[in-house]
Chain A
Amino acid sequence: MRIINGTDIIVKFLKDTKNTTLFGYPGGQIMPFFDRIYSENDIRMILVRHEQSAGHAADGFARASGKLGVCVTTSGPGATNLVTALANAYYDSSPVLAFSGQVSTWLIGNDAFQEADVVGCTMAVTKQNYQVKDVNMLGRVFKEAAYIATTGRPGPVFIDLPRDVQVAETNITDPIPDKVELVSYNPRVFSKGASLQIKRALDLLFNAQYPVIIAGGGVALANASKELEELVNLLHIPVVYTLMGKGVISDDHPYVLGMLGMHGRKRSNFAVSEADAILALGTRFSDRITGDLSHFPGQPSARIIHVDIDTAEIGKNVPVDVPIVADLKLALQEFLEQVKRRLADQKNGTTRSWWYKYIKELKESSGIPDAKKPGKTGRVIPEKVMFELNKILAIDDIVVTEVGQAQMFAAHYLNIKKPRTWISSGGLGTMGFGFPAGIGAKVAKPDSEVWIVAGDGSFQMNLHELATVKSNDIKVNIIVMNNQYLGMVRQWQEILYEKRYAYTCLGCKDGKYFPDFVKLAGAYGLPGIRVEKPEQVAGALEQARKSDQTCIIEMAVEPESNILPMLHPGGALDMFYSRRKEKKSIYDWYCRLPRTESEQHGYKVERINKQEDDVAVFFEDES
């Protein structure tokens, strides 16, 4: 009889399930596992420089590939460093399997060296977690963990592995069960939703005058982009997306208005404010997209159809008229079937011409600002970087963002055409996510060019991963939008705190931009380019693309540029800070929507007046 130990079972599981790319960092209590894979040619371990990055890289890998991302760390600090990454994956529903070493079972609870209650620490930020105390359970736990992470609403699963369990021997013949048997877990893998509910949803949509679709990250997770596009083409309903939903339908599609919410496009926010029927797909109506819940939806009579795989998300933040709990891909297929049947029976075309005209003109009225001119201090404005990046982006290129202004500029202006080519930290808003996640994305899709859009603040949170890309020959392009500020917080301080820039300036007193990111790249043996003038942007991006190594492009951008519009915190979707220039045309349109007379002269108009007088602050257009 063959004797195997715990690490053999883990390696067998990883190979059987083809999860052979790992991100990790070794340490005392996980040494048996690292030693076991040292001689294993089929397993690729990418050594990062901080455990948080291992988690983010696995997360980025999962988002780019749609497969499970795996990371491994040691006990104590190694595992607690993972917590942020797990929380990030949890909020954005990313399938990550994380495991870490633990002190041996007989030491647990004794406050041993590098012991931490990581099962306790990760409980609130994982879909499920385990501590394995019996080597014969290892196979079952790993199998179960991977199943839970990847099915239903995906999410991270954490496994705590005491050292003695890793080395414990067993003669068990089938260490890994063929099937997962979990009576308590029904991930609705085959659920297309009740067809009667879908019929009700279509009744609403067909009768609506001003319908709109909100597409969330769930559409990407369910791989339902094709179905969504077909539905939009058949129904001619304008689409807005959440930050997580960017890319689920091409930004070039004529019915796509852009991002919704806090820093969403005005036209998207107006479309949702005006809508009388909302079809929400795979989104959780977070506070970033609804604004003030007492004013959501903007039209009190609007009806909401919510399709989601997670029952608990339906009705959590906003009351729903037609709830549909389903796998989005299957549900949308059922939608399509019913829509086709209806359209075949129906001769007349649409009666919603006003709405389309409104949407079309809204879309035409705003575009990327004229970015040729430099900003007030002669530096590049962020819009210019996005404008040039758009020109160079190929369809399969992956854009990964850090968090803050740079992220919002990218979300606002970049044309993303395919799902899983836009990777951003949405729910948790983790600064330091982008760079390691970009590494994970590149490892998952080596043939795609990866562009990391970072601010100087975010990039400095995990910049040590420059060592990882150098030593593993991973090529990503890092655009550091250096404005010497924590730009997003500074923008809030400018607008809401009377320009008291409390602890948001990252620069030096002498005013010179620092640190020198080109020199920093040099320290890691990587090329760096500095861009100080608008006309240098395009060339720098091209140069980075051609480089065969990771390249840092330091864009010295206008220090006090703002990403606008921005909703008034706590306000409704149509209360925002904006540039003066755009104000009039938008309001013109807003008032011209053919409502009943009482609506035009009553409630709505009142709110517009209130907004202009009391709340909104308008900025002069900088360009």
Chain B
Amino acid sequence: MTNENQQVCIGMLVYDHPGVMMKITGMFARRGFNISSISVGHSERPGFSRITIMAEGDDATIEQIIKQLHKLIDIVKVQHLEPSRTTMRESALVKVLVKDNNMRQEIMTLVDIYNGKVIDVTSKTMTLEIVGTQRKVDSFIELISEIANIKEIARSGVLALYRGEESITLD
């Protein structure tokens, strides 16, 4: 047990009802919990969505967050995804302003190193796609900001699944 704040990843399977997101975010807001990222999409089963939340807090707070999520009736399953047993990915789109060819070359080299892609190019801008762990995305953004001026960033929030057979499913 620690009393220090940490980031944890919470995986959920929820009913695909209107208002479910509002119930979840409302609960976080009402009880003063922090969300650093949230991602939502259809799951493998029709009628159910999968949500991944990165939340912040000390051990007691994290325990409360999971218990309170569990209490929401629209949430079918909730689990704390421990990093060692979990694969996590985040993607980001980064639009940078390009001054000259030199800069363009430098950007492309960095994108290459990070296994990213250039998905849009104009005479003044480039839009880059990067996929990886949260840390990888963070460090890519940090480095790119040293080369060029960043115009816009869109991040997906973390997606996570257990490694191997373990899973958060109904059966």
A interface list, Cβ under 8 A from B? 119-120, 123-124, 127-128, 131, 148, 182-185, 310-312, 315-316
Contact = CB atoms under 8 A, between A and B. Distances in A.
Given A119-B19, A120-B22, A123-B23, A315 B63 contact: yes
Nearest to A316: B64
A182 B68 contact: no
A316 B64 CA distance: 7
27 contacts: A120-B19, A120-B22, A123-B23, A123-B26, A124-B26, A124-B30, A127-B73, A128-B74, A131-B19, A148-B73, A183-B76, A183-B170, A184-B15, A184-B73, A184-B74, A184-B75, A184-B76, A184-B77, A185-B73, A310-B71, A311-B70, A312-B64, A312-B71, A315-B60, A315-B63, A315-B64, A316-B64
B42 interface: no
Nearest to B29: A124
Given A119-B19, A183-B76, A312 B68 contact: yes
Given A128-B74, A131-B18, A148-B73, 11 more contacts: A119-B19, A123-B23, A123-B26, A127-B73, A128-B73, A184-B15, A184-B74, A311-B67, A311-B70, A312-B64, A315-B64
A131 B71 CA distance: 20
Contacts, number: 40
Interface string B8-50: 0000001100110011001000100000000000000000000
Interface of B: 14-15, 18-19, 22-23, 26, 30, 60, 63-64, 67-68, 70-71, 73-77, 170
Contacts of A127: 73
Contacts of A315: 60, 63-64
The 9 residue pairs across chains A and B that have the minimum distance between CB atoms: A312-B67, A184-B76, A128-B73, A185-B73, A311-B67, A124-B30, A312-B68, A312-B71, A123-B26
Contacts of B75: 184
Contacts of A312: 64, 67-68, 70-71
A120 B64 CA distance: 23
A502 B18 CA distance: 46
- Point out which of B14, B26, B73 has the most chain A C-beta atoms below 10 A from its C-beta: B73
A182 B30 contact: no
Contacts of A128: 73-74
A182 B73 contact: yes
Nearest to B66: A312
Contact of B22 (A123, A183, A184, A316): A123
A183 B26 CA distance: 22
Nearest to A311: B67
Nearest to B78: A184
Contacts of A124: 26, 30
A320 to B, nearest CB: 11
A127 B19 CA distance: 14
A148 B63 CA distance: 24
Contacts of B15: 184
A52 to B, nearest CB: 22
Nearest to A186: B70
A123 B19 CA distance: 9
A272 B68 CA distance: 28
Contacts of B19: 119-120, 123, 131
B33 to A, nearest CB: 13
A313 B70 CA distance: 12
Contacts of B60: 315
- Point out which of A184, A311, A312, A316 has the most chain B C-beta atoms below 10 A from its C-beta: A184
A120 B60 CA distance: 29
A131 B70 CA distance: 22
Nearest to B67: A312
Nearest to B60: A315
A124 B30 CA distance: 8
Contacts of B67: 311-312, 316
A302 B70 CA distance: 30
Contacts of B23: 123
B22 to A, nearest CB: 7
A120 B25 CA distance: 12
A312 B31 CA distance: 13
A315 B23 CA distance: 23
Nearest to B23: A123
A90 to B, nearest CB: 12
Nearest to A148: B73
A315 B26 CA distance: 22
A312 B61 CA distance: 11
Nearest to B19: A119
A116 to B, nearest CB: 15
Contacts of B30: 124
Contacts of B71: 310-312
B77 to A, nearest CB: 8
Nearest to A314: B67
Contacts of A311: 67, 70-71
A385 B74 CA distance: 49
B102 to A, nearest CB: 52
A128 B15 CA distance: 13
Contacts of B22: 120, 123
A333 B53 CA distance: 40
Nearest to B63: A315
Contacts of B63: 315
A182 B170 CA distance: 12
A131 B19 CA distance: 10
B79 to A, nearest CB: 14
A316 B68 CA distance: 10
A10 to B, nearest CB: 21
A131 B30 CA distance: 22
Contacts of A120: 19, 22
A137 B23 CA distance: 21
Nearest to A120: B22
Nearest to A128: B73
A186 B30 CA distance: 24
A147 to B, nearest CB: 10
B49 to A, nearest CB: 12
A179 to B, nearest CB: 16
A311 B72 CA distance: 12
A127 B15 CA distance: 16
B106 to A, nearest CB: 49
A127 B23 CA distance: 11
A189 to B, nearest CB: 15
B43 to A, nearest CB: 13
Nearest to B75: A184
A182 B30 CA distance: 25
A509 B66 CA distance: 55
A128 B70 CA distance: 13
Nearest to B170: A183
A123 B23 CA distance: 7
Nearest to A119: B19
